[in-house]
Amino acid sequence: MSDKKPKLWRRYVVNPILQQLTQGVTPPKIAQAIAYGVTLGIFPILGSSTLLTLVVGVPMRLNQPVLQVFKTLMYPVQLTLLLAFYRAGEWLFQAPHVSIHIPTMLKRFFAEPGPFFRDYGMTAVYGITVWLLMAPFLLGILYFTTKPMVTKLSSLYKTRALSALHPSES
């Protein structure tokens, strides 16, 4: 099982980054796309993160392949954090707890959207507010921690590419 993890990590994370580096995208721009992909990927409304990454990413000229990869990788984290965002929002606004059971909520959403939004709309607003409060900090932390890593990856790639071109000098 441990043999598969490096292959999956390389295939879905490292290779897309390397591909963008070979096409001239700078490490800071890749770090920015990673930070936004992770942050937008945990937005507390299911089904909205793809549109959100396009709405934010296109005007900011964020690297779309990297942005979408990291947004997609965050889906399990998004599911895990939904309740935390909603409960933190209820606490922040001193609102009563609303019963949160995602399968039931999805069923209600598709069966009766009007009553669904009446019952869960403010809870969603509370969760979005908490996300908005923490997003700038998360963006900063992610950008400043991934930038050196992507820069190092870029340097390693360039060093290996040069040694492959000039094997006798190595």
Of residues 161 and 150, which shows the higher confidence score? 150
d(CA 29, CA 38): 14
Q: State the residue for tokens 């040694």.
A: 163
pLDDT value at position 37? 97
Spatial distance between the Cα atoms of 1 and 3, rounded to a whole number of angstroms: 5
Helix residue ranges per DSSP H, the chain: 4-9, 15-22, 27-41, 49-57, 64-73, 75-92, 102-111, 113-165
Residue 1 has pLDDT above 90, yes or no: no
Confidence band, pLDDT 50/70/90 cuts, at residue 35: very high
- pLDDT reading at 170 higher than 60: no
In this predicted structure, the answer to whether residue 169 has a pLDDT above a threshold of 60 is no
Task: Give the span between the Cα atoms of 70 and 66, in whole angstroms.
Answer: 6
pTM comes to 0.83
pLDDT confidence band for 24 (50 / 70 / 90): confident
